[in-house]
Structure 1
Amino acid sequence: MIGLLYPTRDCAEDDFTALAGCLDARPGVEFAYVPWARRTVDRENVQTAVRELSEPDRLVRTAATFTTSPRVVSWACSSCSFLDGVAVAKTQTDALTDALGVPASSTSLAFLAAARQLGLERVALASVYAPDITDAFAAFLAEEDIATVHAVSADAGSDRDLAAWDSDRIRGLVDSAASSDAQAVLVPETALHTAPLLAELENRAGKPVLTATQVTLWHCLTLLGRPAAGPGLGTLFAHPH
């Protein structure tokens, strides 16, 4: 079973389960919800709120609530795992591994692993975030020698707002990030429903499109030594690696 720590209930959990159901490995997925430290998050305090949510002790306490012991766990939130760089992201996953005794990842570390798997050195970012958060993701990638050659920042609303985005808005976001200099387009947001669009997005972009849901599940299965594949699920799942 894959254990996913998730920030907000009833957003895009169904995107993970839909994608898992299309994979030949058919992994089981369970969610545990990391409680926000504050009732409201606005533009002025978003980075503070994200850092509070991502505290290793908070993640570990939440991971203890899984009803089934996971074989691998991931902090399935992009901004919460890249905001302060690679070392902090690894601190989060190290704490989970120490507490649970199983491999641990996060969405942001999964993006790095997927980029290494595909040999990516130059990417475009289709970001839903404000520009400063997009810049933080670019800096995170740069730590691992992955250059951002183009980025768009939708400066969108909350994760609940993003979960309500329809397919046309997601297509438009990825289209706007198109760059001939990039080897792939990255879509770092686990509240978007991207699973049904993976093949179409790649066809439109003419290159791999890596989404948060996709890389999170891919890396969990990779850590388990159970590489998975599925038709129409993009380059990363085109065949077992």
Structure 2
Amino acid sequence: MTALGFLYPGYSAEDDYPRIEQLLGSDIRVDLVHTDIGEDAHRVDALLRMGAPEPLAAGVEALRLAGVEAVVWACTSGSFVYGWEGAHGQVRTLALAAGMPASSTSFAFVHAAAEIGVRRVAVGATYPDDVARLFGDFLRAGGVEVTGVRPSGIITAAEVGSWGEDEVFALARAADRPDAEAVLLPDTALHTAAHVAGLEKELGKPVLTANQVTVWEGLRLTGRRVNAPALGALFTREPVVQA
């Protein structure tokens, strides 16, 4: 049994995690602890407070007691808003507090893109334009070429969590670009676990979504690989061997 720990801000699409655990169909346990979201706002100042060491540290002890082997900060905007170097510092602090390997959803996207061998991506963001552009900057700092960023202007995670299949597919279609090798949907408040395979079929290319890559990142940290076609190309392809 491999136990993965996740720190999830508030309550929006947390039910994606037990769904993903079921889809993995293996000896993987997903443990999730909710952190204090503070002010529910996709605004830089609010996101910086949400991703600060204190709210994250508060959930670490519960994960340690659960016996997890790695911990991932399951929040994209609350990590990339710190920038590339700042997000590295955030993860280092989390790893020291947890006493185990740690990462965040923002780094999960960069690692997942490398895993499936894509260099050019299009982004469909639920965020306002200024926050969405920060995610594009983060990806570029990680060596990923961004062909376009489509913001949606949504302020709260609560509203994002209310989106259903129609809204998710519409966002992905609007974000897609002919020159993009993959489409990224970077909000852990967005329900996507049930839609990844369908999105890839419709768009004809890999789709990386926040909760999907977050769980994959936990597996990566523990050295596990699980074949789960329902979770898309990320969970079915062999890793790319770099020359």
Asked whether the two chains share a fold, i.e. TM above 0.5, the reply is yes
What's 2:204 paired with?
A: 206
1:42/1:23 CA distance change after superposition, 3 Å: closer
Q: How does the TM-score come out when normalised to structure 1?
A: 0.92
Alignment of 1:158-173 (within 5 A): 158-173=156-171
What's 1:219 paired with?
A: 217
- Of stretches 71-80 and 153-162 in structure 1, the one that deviates more from structure 2 is 153-162
Say if 1:84 and 1:136, in contact at 8 Å, map to a contact too.
no
- Of stretches 201-210 and 85-94 in structure 1, the one that deviates more from structure 2 is 85-94
Is structure 2 residue 65 aligned with structure 1 residue 65?
Answer: no
Say if 2:16 and 2:191, in contact at 8 Å, map to a contact too.
yes
What's 2:6 paired with?
A: 4
1:184/1:51 CA distance change after superposition, 3 Å: same
Q: Distance in 2 between matches of 1:229 and 1:213?
A: 17
Say if 1:25 and 1:229, in contact at 8 Å, map to a contact too.
no
Q: 2:232 aligns with which of 213, 229, 234?
A: 234
Q: Which amino acid aligns with 2:107?
A: L
User: Structure 1, residues 105-134: CA drift from partner, whole Å, max 9, x if none?
Assistant: 110010011011122221100110101011
Q: Distance in 2 between matches of 1:14 and 1:58?
A: 21
- Aligned-pair RMSD on alpha carbons? 1.6
Say if 1:228 and 1:239, in contact at 8 Å, map to a contact too.
no
Q: Distance in 2 between matches of 1:177 and 1:54?
A: 27
User: Structure 1, residues 82-122: CA drift from partner, whole Å, max 9, x if none?
Assistant: 01212111111111211222111110010011011122221
- Percent identical: 36
Paired residues in the alignment total: 236
What's 1:135 paired with?
A: 133
Is structure 2 residue 20 aligned with structure 1 residue 19?
Answer: yes
Q: Distance in 2 between matches of 1:193 and 1:33?
A: 16
Say if 1:230 and 1:239, in contact at 8 Å, map to a contact too.
no
Corresponding residue SS for 1:190: coil
1:240/1:226 CA distance change after superposition, 3 Å: farther
1:47/1:103 CA distance change after superposition, 3 Å: same
What's 1:56 paired with?
A: 53
Corresponding residue SS for 1:232: helix
Aligned-residue offset at 1:191: 1.1
Aligned-residue offset at 1:24: 3.5
- Of stretches 86-95 and 131-140 in structure 1, the one that deviates more from structure 2 is 86-95
What's 2:108 paired with?
A: 110
Q: How does the TM-score come out when normalised to structure 2?
A: 0.92
Alignment of 1:118-197 (within 5 A): 118-197=116-195
What's 1:32 paired with?
A: 33
5+ long unaligned stretches in structure 1: none
> Following TM superposition, where does structure 1 have runs of at least 4 consecutive aligned residues deviating by more than 2 angstroms?
40-43
Aligned-residue offset at 1:234: 0.7
Say if 1:128 and 1:156, in contact at 8 Å, map to a contact too.
yes
5+ long unaligned stretches in structure 2: none
User: Structure 1, residues 192-229: CA drift from partner, whole Å, max 9, x if none?
Assistant: 11111111101111110000011001111011011111
User: Structure 1, residues 23-77: CA drift from partner, whole Å, max 9, x if none?
Assistant: 143421222222244xx4457xx21111011112431232123341321101000
